[in-house]
Amino acid sequence: MRLHILGICGTFMGGVAALARELGHEVEGSDQNVYPPMSSQLERLGIRLASGYAATQLGPGVEAVLVGNALSRGNPAVEHVLDSGLRYSSGAQWLAEHVLQGRETLAVAGTHGKTTTTSLLAWLLESAGRDPGFLVGGVPDNFGVSARLGSGRDFVVEADEYDTAFFDKRSKFVHYRPVVAVLNNLEYDHADIFPDLQAIQRQFHHLVRTVPGRGRLIVNGEDAALAEVLAMGCWTPVERFGMVDTQGRPELTLPGGIGSALDWTARMLAADGSRFAVAHRGVELGVVEWPLLGRHSVMNALAALASAAAVGCDAKALLPAFTHFTSAKRRLEVLGVARGVTVYDDFAHHPTAIRTTLEGLRAKLGPARLIAVLEPRSNSMRLGAHAEALAPSLDPADATVFLQRANLPWDAARVVAAVRGAARTVPDVATLVDSLAAEVRPGDHVVFMSNGGFEDAPRRFLAALSG
Spell out the SS3 assignment of 176-209: CCCCEEEECCCCCCCCCCCCCHHHHHHHHHHHHH
Q: How far is it, in rounded angstroms, from Cα 218 to Cα 113?
A: 14
Per-residue pLDDT tens digits for 359-377: 888 888 889 999 999 887 7
pLDDT band per the 50, 70, 90 thresholds, residue 22: very high
3-state class (DSSP) for residue 131: coil
Amino acid at 248: G
Q: At 451, which CATH number?
A: 3.90.190.20
Mean pLDDT score, 142-160:
95
- Does the structure show a pLDDT above 90 at 395? no
Instruction: Look at residues 323, 345, 361 and tell me which one is the last residue of a structural domain.
Output: 323
The confidence score (pLDDT) of residue 261 equals 85
Distances (CA, A) of 285 to 94, 279, 290: 40, 5, 16
Q: What is the pLDDT of residue 110?
A: 94
Identify whether residues 258 and 396 lie together within a single domain.
no
* Residue 378 binned pLDDT confidence (cut-offs 50, 70, 90): low
The per-residue pLDDT for 327 is 76
405/362: higher pLDDT:
362
pLDDT of residue 14: 93
pLDDT of amino acid 409 = 63
The domain spanning residue 57 has which CATH number? Answer: 3.40.50.720
Q: How far is CA 161 from the centre of its chain?
A: 11
Number of structural domains in the chain: 3
Looking at the structure, do residues 143 and 289 belong to the same domain, yes or no?
yes
* pLDDT tops 80 at residue 288: yes
Q: Which domain holds residue 441?
A: 333-466
| Structural domain contains residue 134 | yes
Q: Which of 23-32, 39-48, 159-168, 200-209 has the lowest mean pLDDT?
A: 39-48
User: SS3 of 213, please?
Assistant: coil
Instruction: Give the C-alpha separation, 419 to 425, whole Å.
Output: 12
The answer to whether residue 97 is domain-embedded is no
List of residues 6+ apart from 213 with CB closer than 8 A: 235, 236, 237
DSSP-derived 3-state class of residue 133 = strand
Domain end among 66, 92, 118: 92
Give the span between the Cα atoms of 279 and 281, in whole angstroms: 6
Q: Does some domain include residue 328?
A: no
Mean pLDDT within 58-87? 94
Domain identity same for 450 and 404: yes
| Domain boundary pick from 42, 71, 92 | 92
Residue pair 242/252 in contact by the 8 Å Cβ criterion: yes
Query: Which comes out higher in pLDDT, residue 216 or 9?
Result: 216
End-to-end CA distance of the chain: 47
Q: What is the pLDDT of residue 441?
A: 94
Mean pLDDT of the chain: 90
Residues 54 and 137 in one domain: no
Same domain, 391 and 318: no
Answer whether residue 303 is part of any domain. Answer: yes
List pLDDT tens digits, range 236-272: 999 999 999 988 888 887 765 555 689 999 999 998 8
308 and 352 fall within a common domain: no
> What's the CATH code of the domain at 114?
3.40.1190.10
15 φ/ψ angles, rounded to the nearest 5 degrees:
-65, -40
